[in-house]
Amino acid sequence: MNERHANAREQFFAAIRTLAASADSIQTRVIAATQSILQVTIEEFEGDSELKIKFARLLDLLAIDDHLDLETAAVENAAHMTDLEAVRVADLMCDFYCELG
């Protein structure tokens, strides 16, 4: 098995399971999924600029406020997302997992 991006695949798979396995609001599920995604670092995508950029964009959507630590900002931002915004972020999480192979 290809070990490239193994941690990212594992964490994004956990995030997708969290998104799919709950009847909670989409915002609550995005908050829970974010806990797994924040276990991935941008350095894991060194040498793959396309994935690095896509991951950075996802982090930007999750944590817009630069004054807070990433986890706190992601939770606060997801809590204030509209359903449409939260669905968009969830879709991006799923798409990113698919791109990891």
The whole-angstrom separation of Cα 64 and Cα 75 is 11
pLDDT (tens digit per residue) in 59-81: 888 876 565 677 787 778 888 89
| Confidence band, pLDDT 50/70/90 cuts, at residue 1 | very low
pLDDT (tens digit per residue) in 22-44: 899 999 999 999 999 999 999 99
For residues 9-23, give the mean pLDDT: 96
For residues 4-17, give the mean pLDDT: 96
**Average predicted confidence (pLDDT) for the chain:** 89
Tell me how long the chain is: 101
The whole-angstrom separation of Cα 100 and Cα 89 is 17
Name the region of 47 (left: φ>0; alpha: ψ -120 to 50; beta: rest): left
Token pair listed for 43:
């350095």
Residue 91 has a CB neighbour count (10 Å cut-off) of 11
